[in-house]
Structure 1
Amino acid sequence: MKLTKYKNINEYYKTVYPFLMKNEAENNLPLGLLNSIKSGSRYKDPLLVSAEDEDGRIKGAFIMTPPHHMVSVLKINDEEYSTLAEKLNTLLNEEGIEVPGFVSEKVSAEKLTQAWCNLKGCEHEIGMDQRIYKMDHVNEIELPEGRLIQPEEGHLTLLSDWIQRFTVETGVRPLTESEALERAEDMIVNENYLYFWEAEGKPVSMARGGRWTDNGITVNFVYTPKPYRKKGYASAVVAGLSSKLLEDYKFCTLYTDLENPTSNKIYMDIGYVPVCDSLMVNIK
């Protein structure tokens, strides 16, 4: 097996995009990352690596946007994981990069992490046990009173606070106050698919569409502050946003935390169908 590091995003895109598109919905994360990197909108100095067999066929893709986890898609045999871990470790040592963890389809994540920790003598823990969903139509559900709105400049402080709380509650890398404010400014100015559900004249829940692929787009940043939970607002904002996204895309995808049965039920009620399980693994 051969690993190749790419500096040119266009060359990497040409090499791995067809491989990833074979399972477009399941690979919404790496595909979306590639599109974002290619557009130049975010993620400076990403690590882009392909894995090929002896015949030059693509068998895997690694994408890392430091300091975030390494995203991987692998189609290899069980006995190849040890060799892959050794080659990946050599490459990362040459680049001076430490891997905080992996995100991948569940079985692949488990095997890669085990091979990695056997090699490195490290420990690991599950950061999040996830499920990927896909939907191509929105079911009719009962919605609470309110309406879908897009945030404006006057919502900047509120959105910044919600972004900061979201990162803490979901266990991803927490953002500082200034980082959250910068992210909120960018989302309000530059993003077309960020929405609030407004009830009684104030925002009570939010969701965002991002990470597009050829035919789909991902729903993320779904957040409802604690005082507004269990009132149907998350269902309303996700259903409303999904309907708008389906005007421009053939399907929507999203990730859920399997430890939160409420959110998983909400999404299935709306029309989302499970396509595969995924793991976020933290390396210690």
Structure 2
Amino acid sequence: MSWKLTKYKDINSFYKRVYPFLLRKEAENNLPLGLLNSIKTGDRFKDPLLVSVEGEGSHLKGAFIMTPPHHLVAVLEIDEKDYSTIAEELNKLFSEEGITIPGFVSEKNTALKLTEAWCNLTGCNHHIGMNQRIYKLNQVKDIAIPKGRLVSAKEKDSQLLANWIIGFIEETGVNTLSKNEALERAQDMVSNEKYVYFWEVDGEPVSMARGGRWTDNGITVNFVYTPKRYRKNGYASAVVAGLSNVLLKEFEFCTLYTDLDNPTSNKIYMEIGYEPVCDSLMVNLT
């Protein structure tokens, strides 16, 4: 089979070509769908990499999306025998454009097959950055809620939010931010985003969560973080359950990614009502 990889400069053309394909598995593809919506409607992501994958008859069979310095997000609906050819075409495109990638994020089987083909071709090494699972929620279950209340983050909370963003990133190992970059990100979140929330006890924030990366019918819960001194009190469950209820007033469902190596968080989310959709991998290339 012949394959054609096309790099797009215009987000609107790429969106029109790829978005309906991704939407067929809306919860599973919440990351690339959410990224495309963010790129199309905002200016946070500079010079995104947008590549379509077409098979015979110009049938769309996949897409690659990267927002530097983040990993390349891959969605492929191809046979196992075709990964080597896709890797060759991708490497040819990247070589011509002078593009390097830190790794892949994809559904587990796709990530494994693509990484194998890529490293066989380029001679690179790799390791798993994170074993992930994607969950979907349609209704929040009744759970025990600790003392406190759900409150939206305000401008006065920017420095605290910046500190917690740094803490979250350090624990998840996903890229790095300087203190100034974290503060800018926090200020942008409280100024321009609707769904940044704390669980507050006696006027003091003790846990946080954010709703972002919306799709046609869903939205992703992320940046779930509780500082160590506040953990084991049920605050993460409270803030995620509370935020999820808020989000379900506007969206049909919520999604989230978890680290499968953290059984506590996975247990918490399932108790709230989140159900597994598929497993995903973040693969680091070296």
TM-score normalised over the length of structure 2: 0.99
| 1:185-237 alpha-carbon deviations (Å, 9 max, x no partner) | 00010110000000122000000000000000000000000000110000000
Tell me the alpha carbon deviations over residues 133-180 of structure 1, each in whole angstroms, 9 at most, x when there is no partner.
001100000000000011112211111100011111101001100100
Residue of 205, 216, 219 corresponding to 1:217: 219
Q: Distance in 2 between matches of 1:55 and 1:161?
A: 51
1:85-113 Cα shifts (integer Å, max 9, x gaps): 00000101111111100000000000000
Given candidates 240, 246, 249, the residue that maps to 1:238 is 240
- Aligned partner of 1:171 in structure 2 is 173
Question: Match of 1:195?
Answer: 197
Give the match's secondary structure for 2:99. coil
Shift of 1:40: 2.2
1:84-103 correspondence to structure 2 within 5 Å: 84-103=86-105
Q: Partner of 2:213: helix, strand, or coil?
A: strand
Corresponding position of 1:184: 186
Unmatched 5+ residue regions in structure 2? none
Aligned to 1:61: 63
* Distance in 2, Cα, partners of 1:119 & 1:41: 35
Q: Write the distance in 1 (CA, Å) between the matches of 2:214 and 2:101.
A: 25
Q: Does 1:76 align with 2:78?
A: yes
Please, which of 17, 20, 23 is the counterpart of residue 18 of structure 1?
A: 20
In 1, the alpha carbon distance for the partners of 2:13 and 2:38 equals: 15
Give distance in 2, aligned partners of 1:194 and 1:179: 18
SS of residue paired to 1:212: coil
Residue 63 of structure 1 deviates from its aligned partner by: 0.1
**Once the two structures are aligned, what percentage of the paired residues are identical?**
69
Q: How does 1:85-164 map to 2 (within 5 A)?
A: 85-164=87-166
Q: Does 1:250 align with 2:226?
A: no
Matches for 1:10-49 after TM superposition, within 5 Å: 10-49=12-51
- Cα deviation, 1:68-125, whole Å, max 9, x if unaligned, reads 1000100000110000000000101111111100000000000000000000001100
Q: Measure, in 2, the Cα distance between the counterparts of 1:142 and 1:91.
A: 53
| Rounded Cα–Cα distance in structure 2 between residues aligned with 1:46 and 1:199 | 40
- 1:68 & 1:246 partners in 2: Cα distance? 29
2:142 alignment partner AA: E
Supply the distance in 2 between the matched residues of 1:29 and 1:47 (Cα, whole angstroms). Answer: 15
Tell me the amino acid that sits aligned with residue 260 of structure 1: N
Partners of 1:168 and 1:90 lie apart in 2 by 34
Question: TM-score if structure 1 supplies the norm length?
Answer: 0.99
Distance in 1 between residues matched to 2:214 and 2:153, nearest whole Å = 21
Q: Which residue of 1 aligns with 2:272?
A: 270
SS of match in other structure, 1:142: coil
**Amino acid in the other structure paired with 2:270:** M
Deviations 1:14-66 (A, max 9, x none): 11111101100000000000000000242111000000001111001000111
Q: Distance in 2 between matches of 1:237 and 1:158?
A: 16
From 227, 230, 245, give the equivalent of 2:229. 227
Question: What RMSD, in angstroms, separates the aligned Cα atoms of the two structures?
Answer: 0.6
1:44 & 1:134 partners in 2: Cα distance? 29
Q: Secondary structure at the match of 2:134?
A: strand
Q: Which residue of 2 aligns with 1:51?
A: 53
Q: In the comparison of the two structures, how many residue pairs are matched?
A: 284
Q: Which structure 1 residue ranges, 5 or more long, are not aligned? A: none
